[in-house]
Chains A and B, each alone.
Chain A
Amino acid sequence: MKFMIDDLPVLFPYDRIYPEQYSYMCDLKKTLDAGGHCVLEMPSGTGKTVSLLSLIVSYMQFYPVKRKLIYCSRTVPEIEKALAELKRLMEYRVEMGAKDEDFRGLGLTSRRNLCLHPEVSKEKKGKIVDSRCRDLTSAFACEKGRAEPGSVPLCSYHEELNNYETGNLIPPGVYTLDDVKKWGQEKGTCPYFTIRRMMPFVDIIIYSFHYLLDPKVAENVSAEMSKESIVVFDEAHNIDNVCIESLSIDLTRPMLDSAARSVNKISDKIEEMKRTDATKLQDEYEKLVAGLQEANERREDEDMLASPVLSTDLLEEAMPGNIRKAEHFIAFLKRFIEYMKTRMRVLHVVAETPQSFLAHLKEITFIERRPLKFAAERLTNLVRTLELTNIDEHYALQKVAGFGTLVATYEKGFLLILEPYETEHATVPNPIFHMTCLDPSLAIAPVFERFSSVVITSGTISPLDMYPKILQFQPTLIQSYPMTLTRNAFFPMVITRGSDQVPISSRFEVRNDPAVVRNFGSILIDMSKTVPDGIVAFFPSYLYMESIVSAWYDMGILSEVWKHKLLFVETPDAMETSVALKNYREACNNGRGAVMLSVARGKVSEGIDFDHNYGRAVIMFGIPYQYTESRILKARLEFLRDNHRIRENDYLTFDAMRHAAQCVGRVLRGKTDWGLMVFADKRFARQDKRAKLPLWINQYITGAHSNLSTDMAIVLAKKFIRQISQPWDHTQTGISLWTLEDIEERQRKAEEEAEKGLQEVARIMPVHDGEVVEEDYGEMDDHMLADLDFPMDVDG
């Protein structure tokens, strides 16, 4: 349907619209008009993506300013879904007569998902695909291969692209990832490079967060995006973690060993080159002396060679003298690696700032800060000069160099932590050296600086004001939308105690108390007797899940559950989990019913939808607090407290509740869906916890359902399930589904109201505006005016 928001005609590809979609679009428009950033929270399953796309596309196409949309999502399936939605929207727009002939929309993902090369595409690991592709497509390979065909293997898909005109590698239109692959297969062109090279020409690009936030790729991929672009981060409730991860590097012993081997190999290579082709090295050296950086002419084959620091922090200076010569640089690296190895021998935890690390480094090895800063870049230069192939072999070395660069570049907001043991009780050391970023705002700052409108949105992004604080930006709008339902399709409830009245909680002191474990168990038993088909249960951590499941086994709780449902467990192994999920789904389809035991923050809680019969109830056992003994977390908390004035406890609760919301949100994927949300922990009853849940969930937790014992909860659940199972007409319009008339009706009312408000204002406070005042003045009798006691300086 087509309707107006202010002066903007919006084409929406369905003839019904949810009220929350409408308000969402209105608010989006406001933000775009104002040219600011916003945080929006809209319930899952209410068509957030389509509202977003249809408003922004309408906006882009209606106003003369050429703007692009950069839409970031989390996972490949989500990207694919968004592309399909966009495709549908554009088809609809064409049907409605919109002039979108030249419109282009593409999605980008890694080579591993797009590669067509018969051998390369068979590789399982992304790193290897990238590296092998690079060997077939790098500038020097192409040069050689084209000069004397057959001397160097090239990828025909890549070569074929040369026969196409720049900027028109694929005709205008919207393509899903699959579509591009199909096109590539037909024409013999490489889908990955088609998309990469088309990026400057597309109107909408949909890709994952990393392409914008991770400096290692952002610089190469997203540099050409214009400032007017609209940036959207969808499913952005974890955006701060993505930011932090993109600026953190962990090193381990095996990595250092592998880096040392790489250095030796490269050193051999240098020797070899000295003998055969010494001019090349000399060239490189001279270039570096002249300070000619190749950075300006970045090449597309270098995603994996890029610097780990933000482009704004890259120094525009010449390479320091002591690492310009290849062999000097190699010696430099060797020293650095040796130093790191000695550091790793320490058997107690060390936490230090980059400054103190550098000071110590200098003392022992005489490595200065400045050359270290250039480590990553120098390595890139060298790899290029040596024309190295199979660079995935040198992955660890890159990491080490990146580590050095990061340490030398940043002073504030970072911390180095050496943890000699993996877990508290481990006896065999397995040291990890973390260079961890503490400040999520660092990685995203360039995005806010560069683009005028950034939209951060998710189904669960409460409390909304936390995000501007931790990401350090000024939103023009933050908004959470309630969910309008004609029937209460989901039923959140808080179980605070077992049927025996013993309070339940995953608090550290009581979590292994047999009474608590038993009560958690009886919730699961009773729920599995009451709820049809699928149940998903979440635990705060793997460790806790393991201990509780084994306790349940001993108590005979599992065999009791087994009578009613099959049991599946999420493991850290992705393959195992996906097999478990497949069987889980099957059991939900054939009436056997199943319980999926999983972990908050795990794969299942983030990416898997449990719609309809796949999830009729979700049980949150305990509050998914982070493991607070983690040193990295402690450091982060400290940083947030000192720099952003966020109290530790506030942050921890915020983080726990957003994951809880994310977990329970898994079951409700649309308005025709229904499900129970069980929060099993007495602390959920507290207002300070619940207030941090998204509005659309919190809205339905009534006082009576916020403090239940297990038996009461089961009675309520039974009743809810029977009622919700009654046949229902989902097409009812008016309340939770609007037709065009409903929208217009509403707009008229809003206008009337606004007008009334205006009149009201005008009446009490005559404006210095000729006509309006005169009219109002006429309507008011003197008596009234006297009563109002207003300064009478109005010149009618």
Chain B
Amino acid sequence: MPDDDNYDPTADLEYAEVDDDDQPRTSTAAKGKHKASVNGQAEKGQAVWEGTYNRSWDVVQEDAEGGLQSAVDSLIARGRRKRAEIDTPLRRSIIRHMFIILDLSESVLDKDFRPSRFELTLQYMRSYVVEWFDQNPLGQIGMIIMRDRLSEVLIPMGGNPQEILSVLTDKRKLEPSGEPSLQNGLVMAKGGMSHLPSTSSLEILVVFSSISTADPDGPINIHQVLSDLSSSRVRTSIISLSGEIKICRQICQRTGGKFGVAMDEDHLRELLWETIPPPAQTQSSNPTTLGVRNALAAGGNRVDGDGSRPPPVGDLMVMGFPVRLPPGGETLCVCHGLLKKGGYLCPRCGSKLCDVPTDCEVCGLMVVSSPHLARSFWFLFPVAHYDALTVETTMGDRERSSPTCYGCDRSFKTMRKMFQGFLLRM
């Protein structure tokens, strides 16, 4: 600690106590199994120094100003409860297309998140993608990175988590540098989704580390990009690692996304994971129901009712179940233009596709497999609002209580233990 004599004695006392408090946090940091860095010794030394430094400081601060931290904590908890309590029937989209925009500017090298903003973001992204596809089997993700005031598509929109994971592990391609341009990132994402039907939910998720965006001077500015996004209903959520930036908050508010500022590693994870469940659809004010025939004729593509207004989201859409090819000889696929083994045939036009779910390159049909679809339904019928019962209350009525759930036949762990207890005693 530099200049210890500047602390008042009470602060030092607090400092002594901190270490216990500190344990869970350090372990969080350690959870990321990534070794500090190549630079070994020096880096590590510094990291340790920074660690104690930050932490002790955290506590002195908390103590000194009392209210803020605890107030914020309680607020977060309240928010969580509220979310759990929402029991109005919502319309959720199961077909999601999301561009994840990663900030790879120099600012991600900051070590205020352990082990560093960069490492942590990549690490979270890997588990995030897996979790996301698990819960949104019909969804597709693309990835864009921002650095040197430019943006580039890292991974085009697709439904294959493995592909994304392999790119995310290859750090050579992800070297951070320069400043980000949020505007370029958003424009690119928007462009990458322009061909998609409005029946699916279009989303952008930005993990923004920098404190500012260095946008090009040009004919368009970020405010125009923002109105573009909001008129084409691209829900944009931004998670900032630094603080409340006005334009970011505005973008999120106007496009119906969420804006969050991560306070620490856990909170960042929480904010990210909040975006995994399919978002609730904003019910359009007058649902112009399209005739089924219309929808079919349009092949699931955008049908412009009167041209002026985008069709209401979430009406009928067309999907096809593909024929799976045996893993025999190599044929040319339409999605990559390569000779590959296996794959699926589009039920409408018969083109070969590598992976489902996807939109057929040739006829635009959405091609999904039935298990995917089935799993997606999970979110369409959420568990009804229920009261939590304790084991004790149910135990009183042994006739009615059973060791397994009547709906899914899963066993209640605690119940079983208690039953076992009963059985042994009898």
Contact = CB atoms under 8 A, between A and B. Distances in A.
Interface centre among B107, B112, B247 (most CB of A within 10 A): B247
B215 A723 contact: no
Contacts of A565: 212
A716 B68 contact: no
A722 B60 contact: no
A452 interface: no
Interface in B205-247: 210-215, 221-223, 240, 242-247
Contact of A723 (B7, B210, B247, B263): B263
A718 interface: yes
A369 interface: no
Contact of B245 (A530, A532, A720): A532
Interface stretch (A107-115, A704-712, A740-748): A704-712
B179 A563 contact: yes
Interface stretch (B71-79, B86-94, B162-170, B343-351): B71-79
A724 to B, nearest CB: 7
Interface residues of A, number: 44
A721 B75 contact: no
B6 interface: yes
Interface string B166-197: 00000000000001001000000000000000
A593 interface: yes
Given A488-B68, A726-B75, A726-B76, A530 B211 contact: yes
A716 B69 CA distance: 13
Contacts of B60: 704
A532 B211 contact: yes
Contacts of B8: 703-704
Interface stretch (B50-58, B135-143, B273-281): B50-58
Nearest to B106: A563
Interface in B117-143: none
Given A487-B68, A704-B60, A591 B76 contact: no
A722 B65 contact: no
B17 to A, nearest CB: 15
B11 interface: yes
A592 B57 contact: no
A726 B261 contact: yes
Contacts of A721: 242-244, 261
Contacts of A731: none
Contacts of A705: 64
Nearest to B240: A725
Interface in B244-280: 244-248, 261-263
B326 interface: no
Interface string A536-577: 000000000000000000000000000111000000000000
Contacts of A727: 75, 79
A565 B211 CA distance: 9
Contacts of B67: 486-488
A487 B244 CA distance: 16
A613 interface: yes
B61 to A, nearest CB: 6
Q: Is the interface of B mostly helix, strand, loop or mixed?
A: helix
Contact of A702 (B64, B246, B262): B64
Given A715-B57, A728-B75, A589 B246 contact: yes
A265 B97 CA distance: 83
A296 interface: no
Contact of A704 (B7, B182, B222, B244): B7
Contact of B107 (A529, A612, A716, A722): A529
Nearest to B5: A707
Contacts of B244: 532, 721, 724-725
A613 B58 CA distance: 25
Contacts of B72: 487, 723, 726
B3 interface: yes
B210 to A, nearest CB: 8
A259 interface: no
Given A531-B243, A718-B112, A726-B75, A593 B68 contact: no
Contact of A529 (B7, B182, B211, B248): B211
A700 B6 CA distance: 18
B211 A593 contact: yes
B382 interface: no
Contacts of B214: 563, 592
Contact of B261 (A528, A593, A616, A722): A722
B75 A725 contact: no
Interface centre among B179, B244, B245 (most CB of A within 10 A): B244
A120 to B, nearest CB: 40
A589 B61 contact: no
A565 B214 CA distance: 9
B407 interface: no
A533 B242 CA distance: 11
Contacts of B307: none
A123 to B, nearest CB: 37
A590 B54 CA distance: 32
Contacts of A724: 68, 243-244
A605 B131 CA distance: 52
A567 to B, nearest CB: 12
Interface in A590-610: 590-593
Contact of B246 (A528, A591, A729): A591
B2 interface: yes
A501 B246 contact: no
Nearest to A591: B247
A707 B212 contact: no
A532 B67 CA distance: 23
Interface centre among B68, B222, B245 (most CB of A within 10 A): B68
A724 B71 CA distance: 10
B123 to A, nearest CB: 20
B247 A590 contact: yes
A487 B179 contact: no
A726 B263 contact: yes
A719 interface: yes
Given A531-B211, A588-B246, A591-B245, A723 B11 contact: no
Interface in A680-718: 700, 702-705, 707, 709, 712, 715-716, 718
B211 A564 contact: yes
A533 B57 CA distance: 26
A281 B293 CA distance: 103
Contacts of B54: 715
B212 to A, nearest CB: 4
A593 B72 CA distance: 26
Contacts of B61: 704, 716, 719
A528 B76 CA distance: 28
A724 B60 CA distance: 18
B418 to A, nearest CB: 41
B222 A591 contact: yes
A593 B212 CA distance: 6
Interface in A610-651: 612-613, 616
A552 to B, nearest CB: 19
A589 B247 contact: yes
Given A590-B221, A591-B222, A532 B243 contact: yes
A722 B213 contact: no
Interface centre among A501, A532, A612 (most CB of B within 10 A): A532
A616 to B, nearest CB: 8
B68 A533 contact: no
B215 A591 contact: yes
A533 B72 CA distance: 22
Given A531-B243, A702-B65, 4 more contacts: A501-B2, A533-B245, A591-B248, A593-B212
Interface of A: 486-488, 501, 528-533, 563-565, 588-593, 612-613, 616, 700, 702-705, 707, 709, 712, 715-716, 718-729
The 10 closest A-B pairs by CB, nearest first: A591-B247, A725-B244, A593-B212, A613-B246, A721-B243, A725-B261, A591-B213, A532-B245, A702-B64, A704-B64
Interface of B: 2-3, 6-8, 11, 53-54, 57-58, 60-61, 64-65, 67-69, 71-72, 75-76, 79, 107, 112, 179, 182, 210-215, 221-223, 240, 242-248, 261-263
